[in-house]
C-alpha cells in the first residue's frame, strides 16, 4: 500500500509500506493492504510504519526505529484517510 505523511511544513514520507498503525482518538489501529475506506481523527502518539522505509536526510531526524525495526513518527494530532489502498496521514 502507498503511505503519504504530510505536515504543514512538508511531505515527510511517501512510499510503499506493508502496513501502518496510527494513534486514533479512541486508541491505536492498524491498516493493512486493501483495508476498507476510512477517515479518522488522530491523537497524540506514534505513527508506526511497517516495511522497508527509506527516509531522506532532511526528515530522518523526525523519525526513529524501535527494537523490532518499526519506523516511528511522533505526532500531536491529525487525520488519516485510507482509500484505494492509499493512506494519507495529515499530521501536526
Kindly indicate the confidence band of residue 14, based on its pLDDT and cuts at 50, 70 and 90.
very high
> How is the chain split into domains, by residue range?
2-91
3-state secondary structure of 69: coil
Enter the C-alpha cell of residue 70.
Answer: 518499526
Q: What is the pLDDT of residues 39-76, one digit of tens each?
A: 999 999 999 999 999 999 999 999 999 999 999 999 99
Pick the CATH number of 2-91 from 3.30.70.360, 2.60.40.2130, 3.40.50.2300, 2.60.15.10: 2.60.15.10
Distance between start and end Cα atoms, the chain = 22
- Taking residue 74's Cβ as centre, other Cβ atoms within 10 Å add up to 13
The C-alpha atoms of residue 62 and residue 81 are separated, in whole angstroms, by 22
3-state secondary structure of 66: coil
How much is the pTM? 0.95
Amino acid at each position: 500500500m502507498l503511505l503519504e505523511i504530510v505536515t504543514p511544513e512538508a511531505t515527510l514520507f511517501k512510499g510503499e509500506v506493508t502496513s501502518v498503525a496510527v494513534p486514533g482518538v479512541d486508541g491505536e489501529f492498524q491498516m493493512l493492504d486493501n483495508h476498507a475506506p476510512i477517515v479518522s481523527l488522530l491523537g497524540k502518539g506514534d505513527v508506526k510504519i511497517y516495511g522497508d522505509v527509506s527516509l531522506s536526510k532532511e526528515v530522518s531526524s523526525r523519525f526513529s526505529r524501535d527494537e523490532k525495526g518499526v519506523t516511528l513518527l511522533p505526532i500531536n494530532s491529525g487525520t488519516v484517510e485510507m482509500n484505494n489502498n492509499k493512506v494519507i496521514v495529515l499530521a501536526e
